[in-house]
Amino acid sequence: MSALANPGASAQAIQFHYDIGNSFYNLWLDRSLTYSCALWDGHDTLEAAQMAKIDYHIEKSGARGQQRVLDIGCGWGATLNHLVRTAGVAQATGLTLATQQAAHIAQQEWPGVDVRVESWSDHSPTMPYDAIISVGAFEHFAKLDQSPEEKIEGYRGFFRRCHEWLPPGGCLSLQTMSYENSSREDFSPFFASQIFPESDLPRLSEIAGASEHLFEIVSLRNDRHHYARTSLEWRRRLLQRRAEAVALVGEEAVARYDKYLHLWAIGFHTGTMGLLRLQLRKLETPRRLH
């Protein structure tokens, strides 16, 4: 399978944010280094809520007990580790463009885990996957300067690839932030230049349009309040260890992350942004592929 042009954030843009240093993130994330919205249903600690989120995507993707599972945007590998350690998966492959994340995973030497510094658009597996999980990566699959048509086509390229990689009836469990009571014009210049360069949020309608005739949406949750709570907990932890953080990355970087997490919590609390969790099931013999 030939590589596609990556329609979203470049490796350099991803590394700008995620490669600030594993030690820095270790100060304020939970022990598993899970850097995406937790699932707080009935849970009181960040650790438990993050594990519940991982279990949720394992169940929705149908990954439990499978041979081969793909995690697109695998972060520091918490889902990969859980897949092989407790979910009975034989081989878990993770894709990330952040070199320090990949280095962290490689150092763990988890049996059955393979991590690659690679975009989904460059990935070319030798065999299909039984299930696919993608959490917190979709936000990087489009850029602010793209036209609406270019944005949708980029997303459709992603869904085409996932469709090709899955068996009949296979599922993709997808989690992404989204525009809710806002638009691209509201995307903060601070976030665009200082936090997540070369990135843009999807709307639910764009996800539905891009996946049409490839996947059916089986289930959907908008858990924006869960992300407001997650952001506030991350910020509390960061400020609790502020002196250590400044020693690691400097005053400016800590102030930038403090501002980002504070604004993030406000955005999810007010409904400016949403947090979508979707279960998508592969459609067989699609009638029409755009």
* Residues 66-115 pLDDT 10s: 999 999 999 999 999 999 999 999 999 999 999 999 999 999 999 999 99
Q: Which residues of the chain have pLDDT under 70?
A: 1-5, 191-192, 286-290
* Helix/strand/coil for 217: strand
DSSP symbol at 2: P
The DSSP code for 68 is: E
Tell me what pLDDT residue 289 has: 52
State both tokens at 97.
């463009």
Instruction: Report yes or no on 256 lying in a domain.
Output: no
Note whether residue 236 is domain-resident.
no
In a domain, residue 235? The reply is no
pLDDT of residue 221: 97
> Residue 133 belongs to what domain range?
11-33+43-225+272-282
Specify if 15 maps to a domain.
Answer: yes
Name the 3-class secondary structure at 137: coil
Residue 65 lies in a domain: yes
8 A C-beta contact, residue 282 and residue 170: yes
pLDDT at 13: 73
Q: Please name the residues in contact with 228: beta carbons below 8 A apart, sequence gap of 6 or more.
A: 264, 265, 266, 268, 269
Q: Is residue 77 part of a domain?
A: yes
Helix/strand/coil for 115: strand
Looking at residue 2, what is its pLDDT? Answer: 47
Number of domains the chain contains: 1
State residue 271's pLDDT score: 95
Does a structural domain hold residue 266?
no
User: What does the block give as tokens for 183?
Assistant: 């638009």
Q: Residue 86: which CATH number?
A: 3.40.50.150
pTM of the model: 0.94
Q: How many CB atoms lie within 10 A of CB 41?
A: 12
Q: Is 107 part of any domain?
A: yes
